[in-house]
Amino acid sequence: MSSLPRTRVATQAMLEANARHRAHLAQFECSECGQKFTAQFSLKRHQQSHTGELLYVCSIPGCGQKFFNSSDCKRHEMSVRRHANLQ
């Protein structure tokens, strides 16, 4: 540990914002693993990982990689580097 004195860097506004964020308790629990989420859509997206279903397929011809959720698939499709060998 450093022998330097600790300084307070968080402003009051930052502390209040953090307190508001923490006010949202994780109330949606995964029945498979017990992980908790603050939003129901996050739980639903997470539950897909337990089913093993890969519902989203890359639309780039010749790729065919599959994903649990649409956002991962879209991010993959936008990556030129991942598809450089297909052109």
Per residue in 38-69, pLDDT tens? 899 999 888 888 888 899 999 999 999 999 88
pLDDT of residue 1: 47
CATH, range 11-52 = 3.30.160.60
Global pTM value: 0.53
Q: Specify whether the CB–CB gap between 33 and 50 falls below 8 A.
A: yes
Say how many residues make up the chain. Answer: 87
- Alpha-carbon distance of 70 to 68, in angstroms, equals 7
Give residue 31's pLDDT: 95
Return the pLDDT at 22.
Answer: 63
Domain boundaries, the chain: 11-52, 54-86
Query: What pLDDT does 11 receive?
Result: 81
Alpha helices per DSSP H over 1-87 = 12-22, 40-51, 70-78
Task: State residue 16's pLDDT score.
Answer: 77
Name the 3-class secondary structure at 85.
Answer: helix
As a whole number, the mean pLDDT across the chain is 83
